[in-house]
Amino acid sequence: MADTTMTPGTEVSPKEVEAQAVRRRTFAVISHPDAGKSTLTEALLLHARAITTAGATHGKAGRRGTVSDWMTMEQERGISITSAAIQFEYRDSVINLVDTPGHADFSEDTFRVLSAVDAAVMLVDASKGLEVQTMKLFEVCKQRGLPVITVINKWDRPGSAALDLMDEIRTRTGLIPTPLTWPVGIAGDFRGVIERESSDFIRFNRTAGGATRADSERTTAAEAAIEEGDAWVAAAEESELLAEEGQNHDEESFLGGVTTPVLFSAAVLNFGVQHILDTLVDFAPPAEARLDADGGHRPVTSPFSGFVFKVQSGMNSSHRDYVAFVRVCSGQFRRGMVVTHSATGRPFATKYAQQLFGKDREVAEEAWPGDIVGLVNASALRVGDSIHEGSPAVTFPPLPMFAPAHFRAVRPADTSKHKQFRRGIDQLDHEGVIQVMRSDLRGDQAPVLGAVGPMQFEVVEERMSHDFGAAIRSDVLPYQLARRTDKESALILGHDRQVEVLRRSDGTLLALFSTPWRLRNTVRDHPELLLEDLAGGGPIDEVRY
């Protein structure tokens, strides 16, 4: 865990707040499923000496599960389905790493995480290049103005040529790739990398199963040419070609979203990981002024403020508590301070504040801009809420809810468990795991759940049974899309058998349509009806505010 130098509860100067903010690097790791994201997270922690042994989710006997993938479903399937926050120190910086769900069905959670970070590490599988989810994530980062560091992973396996991958990045994303390292040896024959700034060769030494930190040795270009022969010559020529094309790192272009630094790695072997950490510290932006809901930029030296980007329960199986993940945007957070909940204007005590390390936590006495704080049992807080110290009120831009594309009616499998059923559904709605809709016709006994992707329903079933002791039965509903409507329009829509109007828990009336054809016909026959697009069109697409 990261240590700070101030005594909790003491007054701090704006200069000290700014100094602490400058030390922070807050980023998300994003990728297409199975690109090695959780493995990279473990490797980063290993090289920062935050853990002593890395463990793949489906690792060998005796190797523990990953720090970031702590849910049972994640460990069984080997995929990330929830975000996790991890803080550690590296060099003179404090790193806040937020792991994100890789599967497209959980892209709403990924989008929320991207609202809380200052940069992104995009992981690309060397053999598959830029996959569908990768491209969607690139677009979201572009929308949010997040600088992106690209890591070509799995270079220890057969894959595409390095120059071809650079062309693909440039052509499909519009970003100019500026490699900081260049691989010696083709994909599948990873010998090391050229550090392009120094022209030195960095050779990686294998460790048993990649479970411990991989050491490296540095040699000069002349020595590498003798030792590596044709592989070095080919890599050196390609690196020179990149220089001739102007594909060298420029900090202003990177922060401006024009270029993306590129690094090559084999995360499962811990190869190239040290360069990723150094790149984050040297080039990624620190915590800076953030845009508020009024369009102004709130300086990091302002009194404390932050916003909730995630709520998660079930992290501590012994206590059944839930945690509100807060991104600190300005000022000093002090445990026990009383802040204002912007949504209600009411005071909110922060007695139970914790620093997070995946599922594990410890008491957080203080935090600074860029840090992620877990507020335990903060039942009043919802995803997107802002909190602040002093006045005037501070509110950060709301987080959009994606348009659901899959719908199911659910009931308790055991009717005697209705109280547990109601409490569980309300809690999952509170966390943003699922969208909950109800109607007078269906009654409170059978709410309708709306999801971006069908795997969300599996998470609901797992958590309802495991966390709340209320197994559920569900019926798939024949709807494909939803539109926002109003009371007057609902009276007309209610007469159509292929349309159903439900009220979402936030009070929004949603009209569910069986097919796009039915929606088009309804709009044609009743142009006076209110049928508005929701924010987003399913898994990370054109998300609008």
Which residues line the annotated binding site?
A: 99-103
Q: Mapping DSSP to helix (H, G, I), strand (E, B) and coil, where does residue 104 land?
A: helix
Q: How far is CA 361 from CA 53, 85, 87, 229, 372, in A?
A: 19, 10, 10, 49, 12
H-assigned helices in 78-202: 107-114, 132-144, 162-173
CB atoms within 10 A of CB 443: 9
What is the distance, to the nearest Å, from the Cα of residue 30 to the centroid of all Cα atoms in its chain? Answer: 7
Cβ atoms of residues 359 and 309 within 8 Å: no
- β pairing state of 119-125 and 148-153: parallel
- Distance between CA atoms of 311 and 324, rounded to whole angstroms? 4
Residues comprising the binding site for GTP?
99-103
- Distance between CA atoms of 378 and 285, rounded to whole angstroms? 30
Q: How far is CA 536 from CA 83, 125, 401, 545, in A?
A: 20, 27, 8, 8
Tell me the residue length of the chain.
545
- Distance between CA atoms of 30 and 114, rounded to whole angstroms? 9
Pick from 104, 82, 94, 87: which is nearest to 38 by CA? 82
Element (H, E) at 517: helix 516-525
Cβ atoms of residues 47 and 277 within 8 Å: yes
- Distance between CA atoms of 420 and 148, rounded to whole angstroms? 43
Structure tokens at 152: 């070509």
- β pairing state of 322-330 and 305-313: antiparallel
CA dihedral 295, 297, 298, 300 (to 10 degrees): 160
* Cis amide prior to 183 (ω within 30 degrees): no
Structure tokens at 89: 């120190």
**Given phi > 0 = left and psi -120 to 50 = alpha, else beta, which region is 300?**
alpha
Structure tokens at 352: 């139970």
Give 510's strand partners.
484, 502
Q: Mapping DSSP to helix (H, G, I), strand (E, B) and coil, where does residue 367 land?
A: strand
- Distance between CA atoms of 249 and 537, rounded to whole angstroms? 35
Instruction: Provide the strand spans (E) within 158-242.
Output: 176-179, 181-184, 192-195, 200-204, 216-219
Question: What is the CA angle 343-406-470, rounded to 5?
Answer: 75
Q: Mapping DSSP to helix (H, G, I), strand (E, B) and coil, where does residue 28 land?
A: strand
Element (H, E) at 240: helix 230-244
